Structure 1
Amino acid sequence: MDAPTATPGNEARQQPSVIAAVAVMLFLSTVTISLRFYTRRVVLGFLGIDDWMILAAFVCGASAAKRPARTESIFAFGRPVLLMTEDEMSSNRLEEWYTFLLYAASLSCSKISILLLYRRFLILGWARICNNVVLAIVVACSIWVMITSLINCIPLRAVWDKTIEGKCLSLHVKYGSSYAHVITDFMIFVLPIPFVISLKLGRRQKIGLMLVFCVGFVACLISVIRIVVLSLMDLSDMTHQLASLAVWGAVEVNLAIICACLTTLKPLIVRILPRLLKSSYAADSGQLAYIDQGTGTAARVSRNHGTIVKAESASFVKLDNARSNDSEEYEIDDLEGQIQRGVYMAAPAKVYARLP
């Protein structure tokens, strides 16, 4: 049988779709992370470790997103394998390996950032334990993915240089890392749902939270779609097939960053549109509101209803004789060293409802 020959139809590139997906998602993640840092640094006056983790995720994601477009132009990424030289194939495999490392690092940093953010409000026993367990699982999976990538072949150069004989891990190991990402995605998505359901929120806040959760659910679905695309790939023509995988990868990584940033933008939205996300809670008598020192916001409670108490090196606002009345508002605000409605805070703090 004659060897297959390249035809003009085979030479069609997938550059436009790859570059368009990369550009759009990179733009959206750039906007959201910029707004997040403005909110934290300018509006609230602080930056936490979760902010730096999401910045690391963005840097890795941006570097990974640029590589497919760069490879498309220079090393014929997305081009049928029959039309490529051995040098182009080797360069393409090297770029693929770098991109996978950066994507994995970006997803890991995004998940760690989200879980560190969860620690600010999942403060009760079972919730905090679950959050810490998921965080440990994410860190362990991230380390596992990095190690398996670095020892994918021995010697490592055999990953991209097929003229070198080496021992390489099977494709099932690569698929395993993708499965791990999907499982942890859904764990992170589900983790805060019981807490959110138990909150007494106004309609606008509920709608806002639902939108954030919808974006998070879409990110989980993208992870599943990427695995399906990966499993259906034609291994005999990987370079041509990898273009579609790069598109889904860019969407997945940048959606994770966007999800991590959306949940931090409420103070900025409240400052710009103060009535849009106005909080309203029905508090029970003697309920405690946790104040996380150093997070940059402070308590604002109704006059004669709040007193500062200390417990376990943390501060609490005790809502004395609070009534179940939607007109009584307990809001998060930007206060420092001020008296507001009878509550004095000497340092930045953040209020979270402590549930019964």
Structure 2
Amino acid sequence: MESTAPVDDHLHKAALGIVAAVAVLETIFLCLRLWSRRVIKRFWLDDYIVIVAWSLNMAMTVTSWLEIKAFYIGYHKYDIPTDFDLEKALKIDYLNQILYIPVLSLVKASVIILFLRIAIVQPRVRLTLKILFAANLAFMIAVLFVEVFQCVPVQALYTMTIKGKCIDKALFYIVSASIAVFTDILILVIPSIIARGLGLPMRQKIAVTILLSLGGFVTIVAIIRLVYFIHVIYFPSHFADPNYSIAYVLSRIETGLAVITACASTLKPLIKKYIPRLLGQSSTSNNQPSGEMTGWAVRSELPQRRRPVAFQIRRILPWGSKEEIPDDDSQREVIRENKPVENADRADEYHEAIRENGGRNGVGANGFV
């Protein structure tokens, strides 16, 4: 170091600590999610997608750690060696950029698939979710392509001696981050719509909405990151010593929190089995099969002029052992409202629609979370 005074590296160590802590926390929550799925004895597509996202996030943990070291993040600018390896640092940053969007997009995909499984009898919501899923996938592919080929040749990005053409990275990051935040907000609106269509008491509607909206914390971090980045680009005078900061770790916090919240929203079976009082239930309720939405009824009325019978799906339970769970037909009941049951065949028609909708998701009629 040029200065003979003691080096102030406490922010550098804090940044490394945050990266490590986030990795540990998201690993714990992933394990809890898998444990929760073991409790209900079933895994779904969104679980496997989250595992892939977590794997990429672990790779991002390594690249983030190395980048903090390589760029001396958290050091004063006058404490940074003048001969530090810039090319090595830029290569690590390049890898970090490539990992960032796929992690977030995969987590979003898992959340959308989860919502599709819940909104099994809400066709308009399902159509909206499918459009969001396609848009999210297209966004991930497009951004990943631009990230990989942001300079032509690619080596011009990290090798100063190679001349090449590069995109306006600042503008690209602002636009892509803004689109990501916008899709986050769209997805956050869905849980309240789903809860409203489930025919639940208000208290349970609120609980479902909160449970499925935990991703809002990720959106908050994404907005903070975007605002900070805009300030750095357009108001550089406010950052006389930009390296002396831990704002760099906002990206790692965002991706880690995405995995954590995606996993946290699936932990109800685990909580219900081991700490039921947290849900306001007695320990005797553990005798019932555990599930993410056990006991939350789903009501859907066909037009009254078409049939005199009100139908209620008491429970659609994808969990429990064979001894605990009867077959599909016996999981549903036709509830009479003091009317004859000669049109009970309409129930079979309604249930068949549910089977078809669920089957398209690869989860069948029991795909209700």
The alignment's TM-score, normalised by the length of structure 2, stands at: 0.72
More helix by share: 2
- CA-to-partner distance for each residue in 1:155-199, whole Å, 9 max, x for gaps? 101111121101000021222221121111111111222111343
The change in CA–CA distance for 1:179 and 1:308 in structure 2 (over 3 A counts) is: same
Q: 2:36 aligns with which of 35, 39, 42?
A: 39
Give the corresponding residue for 1:157: 155
Which structure is higher in strand share?
1
Q: CA deviation at 1:55?
A: 0.8
Indicate the residue corresponding to 1:114 in structure 2: 111
**Match of 2:133, as an amino acid?**
L
What 5-or-longer segments of structure 1 have no aligned partner?
Answer: 300-305, 310-315, 324-346
Contact 2:195 2:209 (8 Å CA) reproduced: no
The amino acid of 2:141's aligned partner reads: I
Aligned to 1:73: 69
Deviates more, 1:16-25 or 1:119-128: 16-25
Please give the alpha-carbon distance, in whole angstroms, between the structure 2 residues aligned to 1:219 and 1:269. Answer: 23
Per-residue deviation, 1:45: 1.9
Task: Output the amino acid matched with 1:222.
Answer: V
Residue identity opposite 1:46 in structure 2: R
Q: Which string of whole-angstrom CA distances, capped at 9 and with x for unpartnered residues, describes residues 19-47 of structure 1?
A: 2321232222111110111111x212222
- Shift of the alpha carbon at 1:138? 0.4
Q: Residue 199 of structure 1 aligns to a residue in which SS?
A: coil
Letter in 1 for 2:42: F
Distance 1:58 1:194, change over 3 A: same
TM-score when normalising by structure 1 = 0.75
- Residue 257 of structure 1 deviates from its aligned partner by 0.8
CA contact 2:150–2:167 (8 Å) conserved in 1 = yes
Measured on the aligned residues, the alpha-carbon RMSD in Å equals: 3.9
Q: 1:11 Cα shift?
A: 5.9
Counterpart code for 1:115: I
SS in 2 for 1:319: strand
- CA 1:238–1:200 in structure 2 vs 1: closer, same or farther (change >3 Å)? farther
Give the AA of the match of 1:37. Answer: L
In structure 2, which of residues 329, 349, 361 is the aligned counterpart of residue 308 of structure 1? Answer: 329
Query: Tell me, what secondary structure is at the counterpart of 2:188?
Result: helix
1:106 CA displacement: 0.8
CA 352–22 in structure 1, closer or farther in 2 if over 3 Å, else same: same
Aligned length: 315
* Residues 96-155 of structure 1, C-alpha deviations (whole Å, 9 max, x = no match): 111121121111110111111111112221011000000011001101110000110001
Identity %: 23
| SS of 2:329 mapped into structure 1 | strand
Going from structure 1 to structure 2, the CA distance change for 1:8 and 1:183 (only over 3 Å counts) comes to: farther
Displacement of 1:251 after TM fit? 1.5
Deviations 1:254-285 (A, max 9, x none): 11111211221112222223462673548576
Distance 1:271 1:155 in 2: 56
1:279 is aligned, of 274, 290, 295, to 295
2:219 is paired with a residue of what secondary structure? helix
Q: What's 1:24 paired with?
A: 21
What amino acid maps onto 1:45 in structure 2? K
